[in-house]
Each structure stands twice: as C-alpha cells, then as structure tokens.
Amino acid sequence: MGKKIRVLIVDDSAVVRKVFTEELSREPDIEVVGTAPDPYVARDKIAKLNPDVITLDIEMPRMDGITFLRKLMRYYPLPVIIVSSLTQKGGKMAMEALSIGALEVMSKPSSAYSVGEMSVQLIDKIRAVAGIKVKATGAADTEGNIPEKKTTKALGETTNKIIAIGASTGGTEALKVVLTEMPPNAPGILVVQHMPAHFTTAFAERLNQLSAITVKEASDGDSLVNGMALIAPGNYHMLLRKSGARYYVQVKTGPLVHHQRPSADVLFSSVAEYAGSNAAGVILTGMGADGAKGLLKMREAGARTVAQDEKSCVVFGMPKEAIKIGAAEKVVPLNNIGVTVLSMVAGEQRRIG
C-alpha cells in the first residue's frame, strides 16, 4: 500500500474528536496523526506533524475557525474540510470558509444526520481532497466581506431555455465564476451543488449578492424564469417540471443517488425529459460520478452539454466521468464556461459526434 493520508482533526468537542479518530482509523489508507481542541494547539501540531488534510470546526473558543483558516491559507495552505453546526450562523460561516480556501463543508452529526452516514462521506471527501495543491491567499483575499454588486435584476419573464449545472468539491467557487458572468436576462438556471441541509440558504444568498441575476434556494413549485438561478436545497432532490409554457421545480426527498441528495443525475434526467433540446447542461469540478449519466441523457435528448476541463478543476471526478461516456459535447476551462453555455442556448447549430 502507498503512503497513508495524514489527517489532523481540529474540534473543541472531545466526543467529535474521539468519534472521528475511531471512524477514520478503520480505513487502511488513512492515518489520524493528531487532534487539537483549538487553533492554537492545531498550529503547533501542523508544524510538527505535517498533515495532508485538516478537518476544522469553525465555532471554537480562544480563536474561531474562520480567523485560523485565514492565517492558515496565507502562511501554510493545506486541504481543509470544514465541519460546522446546522445553524444559520454556521451556514454563513461555512460559506465564508469556502471563499477563503476550504475545499469542502460538512455538518456535524445530529439527530437528522447520523455519525455513521457522516463518517462515510467524510472518508470520501478526505480521499478526494488529499494531494490537492491549495494556493496561498494574501491579506486582500481574506477579509471575509462580500461586496454587494450594484446591478439591476431582471424582471422575471417565463424562460424558454434552461441551463442545468451540477457541481461538488470546489464547486462553490466555480459556480461563483459561472453565475457572476450571467447577464440579467440570462435563461433560467438550475443548480445542484453537493452541500448539507441549511448551508445552501447561505450559499444562495452569497451568490445573489455577487450576481446580476437573482439567485435563491429553490422551494417546491418555484417557477423558473429568465434572470433567475434556483439552488437545490441541501438534503432534497430538485427536478424540472413543465405545465403549459411554464417551467417549475419539484423539490422532494428520496433515496440518495451516488451517496448524494441533491443529485445532479436526478436534475439532469428531469431536464432531459421536460426541456430536451431547449436546455444546456454543465458539469463542474467534483468528486465521484454524479451527473455523468444524467448529462448523457440530456445530450441524447438534444441538449447542448459542456464539462469543465481537468486543469481548472479542483477535483476532476464528475467531469472526467461525463467525458468518459461521451456526455460532454465540449470540454472547456472554467473561465470560458459562462460564455460557452450562453452561446449554446442562444441557438447555435448542435454539433453531432
């Protein structure tokens, strides 16, 4: 067996440190090299133990996780997975952490989120982010403030084109790039980003502040209109439906698909069925295979499809799987995806093959 993934657990809860250590230590390719109850202890252990991945709570005594993360990303950047409580405050802090440089966010175990289910996902995420070269950020990048973009939001006219986007690890920042390029009259957009329940509310609010379009967390029955993006709420699938000329979304529970809820495959499959050639599908950075088969269904139904290229991905998992099965018509860098998908839905002749 190759080199083990060295993990440092930073959490003020002794119970969480114990449970995570026990669960992770069962994996033959993962080694918990240490734990820390606060950032001050963590700082010393990082220098001494040289971990590959850090799990980080963000609500801690002495120094909060956000302040610590800013310092870490500036002076000693490492792959960080945020573990936060299921609160409104926790969701906003988690979004700030992702903007600073954390790669993933997870919710702490609770009655609605079992330790067993979480540990399986945590193990997958640790494997996905291990080895990623995290770029250092300067002081200007780490202020934590989101400037409000002074733009005029579009009046919501019924959309006749649909853009469907799926993303996972690294997707929060990738989606920011894509959505902030959308003009106020952009076609209606549906987004699945793998993220825990409650965190998607803060995520949508952040994107809405930054974008010329309106971005909101989807509710069951929401109409999809021009100049609007609907974000699938954490722990719920989102599907496209149509009544007459009106597109709307169904938000529902259901089985996990590729260990995910929401699932990009579920969204893409519904878009293939109800929008067909009136749609474009985009698959962004992320681990696993979610979205690949659904994107292929979209392409087979006449939709235009695009995948993010390997160089610009944080994790080239989901796009790679889509490309492998011929689901992606085009493969482009992240900074070209916005203009590419807009030209696709503008009515370009579909390329076959």
Q: Which residues are catalytic?
A: 168, 194, 290
DSSP letters spanning 296-346 = HHHHHTT-EEEEE-TTT-SSBSHHHHHHHTT--SEEE-HHHHHHHHHHHHT
User: Comparing C-alpha atoms, which of 151, 213, 152 is closest to residue 186?
Assistant: 213
Q: How many CB atoms lie within 10 A of CB 143?
A: 10
The span from the CA of 101 to the CA of 24, in Å, is 23
Torsion of CA 77, 66, 103, 193, to 10 degrees: -160
Q: How many CB atoms lie within 10 A of CB 173?
A: 16
In the block, residue with structure tokens 């894509």: 178
The span from the CA of 11 to the CA of 31, in Å, is 17
User: Comparing C-alpha atoms, which of 79, 101, 237, 93 is closest to residue 172?
Assistant: 101
Q: How many CB atoms lie within 10 A of CB 165?
A: 28
User: Comparing C-alpha atoms, which of 107, 105, 50 is closest to residue 80?
Assistant: 105
- Please report, for residues 58, 107, 280, the alpha-carbon distance to residue 91 in angstroms, rounded to integers and kept in the order given: 10, 9, 30
In the block, residue with structure tokens 């952490």: 97
Q: What angle do CA 299, 228, 232 make, to 5 degrees?
A: 65
Terminal C-alpha separation, the chain: 41
The span from the CA of 211 to the CA of 348, in Å, is 25
